[in-house]
A and B are shown apart, each in its own frame.
Chain A
Amino acid sequence: MFVINCPYCGERDQQEFKAGGEAHIERPKQPTELSDDEWAEYLFMRKNIKGVQYERWNHAHGCRKWFNMVRDTSNDEIKAIYKMGEKPPSI
């Protein structure tokens, strides 16, 4: 449980948000060309990092907008928050 600074609404309690998992997994540009291995990689395989991880979050009980977050999963410390489409900061 922690406080998240929504880029649209400001600081709100984490329970207003929905975690959307690992960020920057790009949808395949040519889905028909993909092998089964590549589909598995896209659909299921995750970095699941212990440490700094790039994630998507949704302000489900607020503005309902999606945004990105950089968070240390070993202590839940939020390093950065940036809007969808913005360049991810290097941490």
Chain B
Amino acid sequence: MGNKYSVFSLIKNALSYHENWQRAWKDPIPKKEYDAVIVGGGGHGLATAYYLAKKHNMKNIAVVEKGWIGGGNTGRNTTIIRSNYLWDASAGLYDHALKIWEGLSQELNYNVMFSQRGVMNLAHNLQDVRDLKRRTHANRLNGIDAVYLSTEEVKKFCPIINTSQDIRYPVLGGTLQRRAGTARHDAVAWGYARSADEMGVDIIQNCEVKGIKRNSDTVEGLETTKGFIKTKKIGVVAAGHSSVIANMAGIRLPLESKPLQALVSEPVKPIIDTVVMSNAVHAYVSQSDKGELVIGAGTDDYVSYTQKGSHQIVEGTLNAILELYPIFSRMRMLRQWGGIVDICPDASPILSKTSIKGLYFNCGWGTGGFKATPGSGDLFAHTIANDEPHKLNAAFNLNRFVSGDLVDEHGAAAVAH
């Protein structure tokens, strides 16, 4: 346990046919009591535990996960990372994450395959053009790299896009964030898990939370399928199932959980070396290192926890993809899956204390949480350790739904909801 990965360890293990690699993290039995317990072993939860141990010196902590780590939305997203959000609060939050991404592989000694291949957002009508230009200016005022591209520049940056003005939704321009890109989603969960485990964090898999014990307005512990765990601080990072945990604690959240789908094609040689997103026609595509096209579809409009979506959603996305990229018309899709995303009314996340002392929620990331993983973990750890939010996540409190101070990123953030 705890060996540093290096080229030498790779050579050494190659000599024994890679059969003697050490376990990346332990499989502990839960202790009776922890200083803090994180509910949810996805990227955000594991990152929270890692930063609690590393920056706030809280070593007696655990992550409980009902399935296996990274088996939820961390392993189901389309791995896009960017920070070109419109509003100041969001720009601060997502660019904080992007800055951590830039040094994450070195920090974790784990290759998360972060690739700054750029993210391009397309405009298909005059309102798109105005919105995207406005967002470009807002981004630059916040120190985030962003450029507006003409149709010709879009074509030059990604030559396989059909820029004919005769198509139903012609490409009128686009924006480009060059620092944006993708990362290997599983590696992010595994890298954080390994590093957290090394610092003494207990990662407890196959351990489902069944109840939250509270003494009037203070938490006392968790009922789980592996017994009662006593703790004074609970950080819930349960994505689509956040409301389920909230209902156990007797509080209400402004969330609706909906299925979001993605799909990948058969692998082909490199054809698209960036990420292209289109809000208006709802299509985004990139290519994985294995060669598969990674395509994100939309959400269904009804609440469901089934982790599968409707066929017409995928069909609509592929229609749009084929109009923009006629070159893909003969490709076959290999796999399709769904994940449950927790959507806030303002399409911004919640990283917040609650009315119950010691109960914290990190949720509401909706359709775009993966990009924020390191920043979310860092800021949520700060919130739990100090019982106060960091200035970067202060705007993302639960009270904004009472005060009306929403961070309205619906449609503003270049995101295809």
Identify the A interface with B (CB < 8 A): 1, 14-15, 18-19, 21, 36-37, 39-41, 43-50, 53, 55, 71, 73-76
Contact = CB atoms under 8 A, between A and B. Distances in A.
Nearest to B404: A36
14 contacts: A21-B303, A39-B402, A43-B401, A44-B401, A45-B253, A45-B254, A46-B254, A47-B247, A48-B256, A48-B257, A49-B247, A73-B257, A75-B306, A76-B306
A32 B228 CA distance: 46
B305 A50 contact: yes
B310 A1 contact: yes
Contacts of A15: 310, 312
Contacts of A41: 252
A76 to B, nearest CB: 6
A76 B401 contact: no
A74 B308 CA distance: 11
B241 A50 contact: yes
A21 B244 CA distance: 17
Contacts of A40: 254, 401-402
Interface string B292-304: 0000000011111
A37 B402 contact: yes
Given A74-B305, A76-B306, A46 B403 contact: no
B247 A21 contact: no
A73 B401 contact: no
A21 B302 CA distance: 7
B187 interface: no
B253 A48 contact: yes
Contacts, number: 69
Given A1-B311, A14-B310, A48-B257, A19 B252 contact: no
B305 A46 contact: no
Contacts of B247: 47, 49
Contact of A73 (B305, B311, B403): B305
B255 interface: yes
Given A40-B401, A46-B255, A50-B241, A18 B303 contact: no
A21 B254 CA distance: 12
B310 A45 contact: no
B345 interface: yes
Contacts of A48: 243, 253, 255-257, 303
Contact of B303 (A14, A36, A45, A55): A55
Nearest to A48: B243
B252 A73 contact: no
A15 B256 CA distance: 19
A69 to B, nearest CB: 9
B255 A19 contact: no
Contacts of A49: 243, 247, 303
A24 to B, nearest CB: 15
Nearest to B241: A50
Given A1-B312, A15-B312, A50-B244, A21 B256 contact: yes
Given A1-B309, A40-B401, A50-B305, 9 more contacts: A19-B300, A19-B303, A36-B403, A36-B404, A45-B252, A46-B252, A46-B256, A48-B303, A50-B241
A83 B247 CA distance: 28
Contacts of B310: 1, 14-15
Contacts of B304: 73, 76
B211 to A, nearest CB: 15
Nearest to B258: A19
A19 B305 CA distance: 15
A18 B247 CA distance: 26
B400 to A, nearest CB: 9
A52 B146 CA distance: 46
A75 B253 CA distance: 22
Contacts of A43: 345, 401
Contacts of A47: 243, 247, 252
A19 B312 CA distance: 15
A43 B181 CA distance: 36
Contacts of B303: 19, 21, 48-49, 53, 55, 73
